[in-house]
Amino acid sequence: MHDDTRVLIPADLEREDRLLWGLTARQLAILSVTAVTSYLVYGVASRVTPQTVALACVVPLVTVGAALALFRRDGVGLDQLVVAAWRQSRMPRRQVFAPEGVPGPAELGPRLDEPLPGVLNLPVRSVRRDGVLDLGGDGVAVIVDCSTISFALRTDEEQLALVAAFGRWLNSLTHPVQVVVVAERVNLRPAIVRLRADAPALPHPALERGALEHAAFLERLGASRDLLRRRVLLVLREPHDAPGGRDVAGAAGRVLRRAEDAAHALGAAQVTARVLDAAQAAAVLAGCLDPGMPPGLTDLAAPNEPVTAARLFKEDQL
């Protein structure tokens, strides 16, 4: 006998459990503290002031407590946003990667007009030549760049095949993975330069004129709008063999094999996946830490690598 009962699984797997009246434990705690505080304030205020004044003293407390417990923005509770804003206000506006510490004003010589930057605590200790990120005691990780597909334009049979292939990859996972979707600025300058360079070699004047007009259109488009593209990154992490161990080579080999298996499995879903090398991984990390970085700046100096004049010249051109 087959059981045709279907159970709906929420899309948000990290959704907090609802304990009472559709509220989570965090919301119930905030409302409980608000109720107790309001009761105490009302009891004290009603003894020395009229009842209307005591109620007026309680209303702001109830309003703030209810807002912190019930209001959400982009799926995040208002209390969590307040805590995050408080932490950000206490952190230095500028942070640099300095494992040895930031020099003090006495070591820097003249007095600086701007405050000293803070130390940026990154989990990444170094980036190997093969693109493996050394996370210290937390193991190693690799970043896999994945392409996207147009799912809505496929037929029903093609959609079922893609979902089945993606499901097989999910079922084959033995370690946690992270799918990161980031928005990156688009640099149209290389395409514009290439169009203008190749236009004179086209076989017909109309083609040359069209290429130059398209280059001019791209230039106007880049100057009038902030162009963004969506990028999907897959992060795979591999712990060390033993707790507290530092077998980076062994863990790196395992995580690279897992990345190759993931790329092969995702290929069945028509997703092109490739492991980022050291320069590309460093550029992704730098772009995440500095969203205002000029697009296309990928030739970055690796840690402990001197910055050459050629690299500076290339960065200025971008």
pLDDT computed for residue 214 by the predictor: 92
Q: For 8-56, how does the pLDDT look when each residue is reduced to its tens digit (9 = 90+)? A: 655 555 667 777 777 788 888 888 888 888 888 888 888 888 888 888 8
Q: Which two tokens stand for residue 117?
A: 């930057």
Give just the sign of the alpha carbon dihedral 203, 206, 212, 218: negative
| Residue 40 sits in the same domain as residue 177 | no
| Residue 34 sits in the same domain as residue 85 | yes
Residue 236's alpha-carbon distances to 51, 72, 137, 170, 254, in angstroms, are 61, 31, 16, 13, 10
In a domain, 96, yes or no: no
| Residue 275 sits in the same domain as residue 146 | yes
Question: Could you tell me the pLDDT band of residue 217, with boundaries at 50, 70 and 90?
Answer: very high
| Residue 150 sits in the same domain as residue 86 | no
CB neighbour burial string for 140-175, b if at least 16 within 10 angstroms, e if fewer = bbbbbbbeeeeeeeeeeeeeeebeebbeebeeeeee
Give percent of the chain with pLDDT exceeding 90.
Answer: 5
SS3 readout for 29-69: HHHHHHHHHHHHHHHHHHHHCCHHHHHHHHHHHHHHHHHHH
Q: Which domain holds residue 137?
A: 126-186+227-305+312-317
Strand-pair partners of 142: 236
| Residue 165 sits in the same domain as residue 240 | yes
CA atoms of 285 and 19, how far apart (whole Å): 39
- Show the beta-strand stretches assigned E in the chain: 18-20, 23-24, 72-73, 76-77, 95-96, 118-119, 126-127, 133-134, 140-146, 177-185, 228-238, 273-275
Give the total residue count for the chain.
318
Q: Return the number of other C-beta atoms located less than 10 Å from residue 228's C-beta.
A: 12
CA atoms of 10 and 274, how far apart (whole Å): 31
Strongest mean pLDDT among 71-80, 97-106, 110-119: 71-80
- Domains in the chain: how many in total? 2
| Residue 32 sits in the same domain as residue 165 | no
Judge if pTM exceeds 0.75: no
| Residue 238 sits in the same domain as residue 169 | yes
Question: Could you tell me the pLDDT band of residue 223, with boundaries at 50, 70 and 90?
Answer: confident
| Residue 80 sits in the same domain as residue 22 | yes
Amino acid at position 284, single letter? V
In a domain, 28, yes or no: yes
Question: Could you tell me the pLDDT band of residue 282, with boundaries at 50, 70 and 90?
Answer: confident
Q: For 56-65, how does the pLDDT look when each residue is reduced to its tens digit (9 = 90+)? A: 888 888 888 8
Residue 289 has pLDDT above 60, yes or no: yes
